[in-house]
Chain A
Amino acid sequence: MELFLSLLVVGLATGAIYALIALGYTMVYGIIELINFAHSDIFMIGTFVTITLEGLFGITSDSPPKSITSDLILRLVLIGIGAFLVCALLGVIIERIAYKPLRNAPRLAPLISAIGVSLILQDVGKLWKGSTDVSFPNLPTPSIRVGAINIDSVNIFVIVIAVLLMVGLQFLITRTRIGRAMRAVAQDRDAAALMGVDVDRIITFTFFIGAGLAGAAGCIYGLKFPNTVFNIGFQLGLIAFTAAVLGGIGNIVGAMVGGLVVGLITSLISLLPDTVLPHGGNAWNNAIIFAILILILVFRPSGLLGQQAPEKV
Chain B
Amino acid sequence: MSINSRWLRVESDTRKLLMKWLVALLVPVAIFTFLWSGEAIENNVFLGIVAPATSLYTSSAVFYAAIFIVIFYATVIALAGYLVAADSDRRNPIEVWIDLLFYVVLPMLYIIVTSNLLIGLSLSAITWGIYFFARKRVRDLLHYNPPALLEEVQVLDEQQKANMMNRARAGGFWFATAFAVISLIVDVIFFLSGSLPSVLLIWVIVRTILLPVAGYFLGQLGGSVALKRVITQNENGNGNGEKSEQRGFGWRRNVAQVSKKQQLEHLSKSRAREEAKDFVPNDLPLQSKGASRFYLTLLGLVVLFYPVIDPILFGSGTKGRITSYGDLGYYVILALGLNIVVGFAGLLDLGYVAFFVIGTYAWALVGSTQFTVLTGIVTNPQFVSWLFWPMIIIAALIAAAWGVLLGAPTLRLRGDYLAIVTLGFGEIIPAFFLNLDKYTGGINGISGIYRPATPCIQPFFCVDWNGFDPTPYYYLILVLIFLCIFANVRLRDSRLGRAWVAIREDEIAASSSGINLVNTKLFAFAAGAFFSGVAGIYHAAKLGTIAPTDFNSNDSFIFLAMVVIGGLGSIPGVIVGAVVVYAINLLILAQLDTFAADPTNFLHVFPQYIPNFTFSNIRNLLFGIILISIMIFRPEGLIPSARRRRELHRAPDAELIEVGALDEPPGSAAFEAEVPVE
> A residues touching B (Cβ–Cβ < 8 Å)?
29, 33-35, 37, 97-98, 101-102, 105-113, 115-124, 126-131, 234-235, 238, 241, 245, 277-279, 283-284, 286-287, 289-290, 293-294, 297-298, 301, 311, 313
Contact = CB atoms under 8 A, between A and B. Distances in A.
B618 A286 contact: no
B617 A126 contact: yes
B631 to A, nearest CB: 5
A127 B635 CA distance: 29
Listed from nearest, the 4 A-B pairs whose CB atoms lie closest are: A116-B627, A119-B624, A123-B621, A120-B624
A127 B423 CA distance: 24
Contact of A115 (B410, B428, B560, B618): B560
Interface residues of B, number: 52
23 contacts: A29-B416, A33-B416, A106-B346, A108-B346, A109-B635, A110-B631, A111-B348, A111-B416, A112-B348, A113-B627, A116-B628, A117-B624, A117-B628, A123-B617, A123-B619, A123-B624, A278-B435, A278-B436, A279-B435, A286-B427, A293-B420, A293-B424, A294-B421
B557 A284 contact: no
Contacts of A126: 612, 617
B613 interface: yes
Interface in B239-298: none
Nearest to A34: B416
B485 interface: no
B437 interface: yes
A269 B424 CA distance: 18
A121 B612 CA distance: 15
Nearest to B629: A116
A113 to B, nearest CB: 5
Contact of B423 (A98, A110, A238): A238
Given A112-B560, A113-B631, A130-B611, A297 B624 contact: no
B413 interface: yes
Contacts of B560: 112, 115
Given A284-B431, A293-B421, 4 more contacts: A112-B564, A116-B627, A116-B628, A278-B436
A119 B621 contact: yes
A286 B428 contact: yes
B624 to A, nearest CB: 3
A112 B612 contact: no
Contacts of A37: 419, 423
A130 B612 contact: yes
B143 interface: no
A112 B631 contact: yes
B624 A116 contact: yes
B348 A108 contact: yes
Contacts of A106: 346, 504, 635
Given A127-B610, A297-B421, A119 B557 contact: yes
Judged by DSSP, the binding face of B is helix
Contacts of B428: 286-287, 290
A287 B432 contact: yes
A102 B628 CA distance: 10
Contact of B625 (A105, A116, A131, A235): A116
B415 interface: yes
B553 interface: yes
Contact of A294 (B350, B410, B431): B410
Nearest to B410: A297
Contacts of A116: 623-628, 631
B620 interface: yes
B623 A119 contact: yes
B346 A245 contact: no
Given A33-B416, A116-B625, A122 B620 contact: yes
A97 B628 contact: yes
Contacts of B626: 116
B621 A120 contact: yes
Nearest to B628: A116
Contacts of A238: 420, 423-424, 427
A301 B413 CA distance: 8
A111 B419 contact: yes
B342 interface: yes
B631 A105 contact: yes
A297 B408 CA distance: 10
Nearest to A284: B435
A115 B557 contact: yes
Nearest to A283: B435
A34 B623 CA distance: 21
Nearest to B622: A123
B111 interface: no
Interface in B594-638: 610-613, 617-621, 623-628, 631-632, 635
Interface in B487-532: 504, 508
A304 to B, nearest CB: 16
B631 A123 contact: no
Interface string B156-187: 00000000000000000000000000000000
Contacts of B628: 97-98, 113, 116-117, 120
A280 B631 CA distance: 43
A130 B610 CA distance: 11
Contacts of A101: 632
Contacts of A298: 409
Contacts of B632: 98, 101-102, 113
A111 B247 CA distance: 55
B612 A131 contact: yes
Contacts of A112: 348, 560, 564, 627, 631
Contacts of B635: 105-106, 109
A278 B442 CA distance: 11
A102 B423 CA distance: 22
Nearest to A291: B428
B649 interface: no
Nearest to B505: A106
Contacts of A127: 610-613, 617-618, 621
A123 B432 CA distance: 26
Given A120-B621, A126-B612, A278-B436, A108 B627 contact: no
B620 A102 contact: no
Nearest to A239: B424
Contacts of A117: 624, 628
Q: Which of B504, B617, B620, B628 lies at the interface centre, i.e. has the most chain A CB atoms within 10 A of its CB? A: B628
Given A286-B431, A294-B409, A118 B436 contact: no
A117 B409 CA distance: 28
A63 B211 CA distance: 84
A111 B422 CA distance: 14
Contacts of B346: 106-108
A224 B211 CA distance: 80
Contact of B553 (A29, A234, A277, A283): A234
B620 A278 contact: no
B562 to A, nearest CB: 12
Contacts of B624: 115-121, 123
Nearest to B343: A108
Nearest to B553: A234
Interface string B424-442: 1101100110011110000
B417 interface: yes
A18 to B, nearest CB: 15
Contacts of B564: 112
B438 A278 contact: yes
Contacts of B414: 311
A125 B5 CA distance: 74
B568 interface: yes
Contacts of A294: 409-410, 421
Contacts of A121: 624
A21 B543 CA distance: 41
Q: Which of B414, B623, B624 lies at the interface centre, i.e. has the most chain A CB atoms within 10 A of its CB? A: B624
A192 to B, nearest CB: 21
Contacts of A105: 631, 635
A293 B425 CA distance: 11
A35 B419 contact: yes
A287 B421 contact: no
A235 B627 CA distance: 22
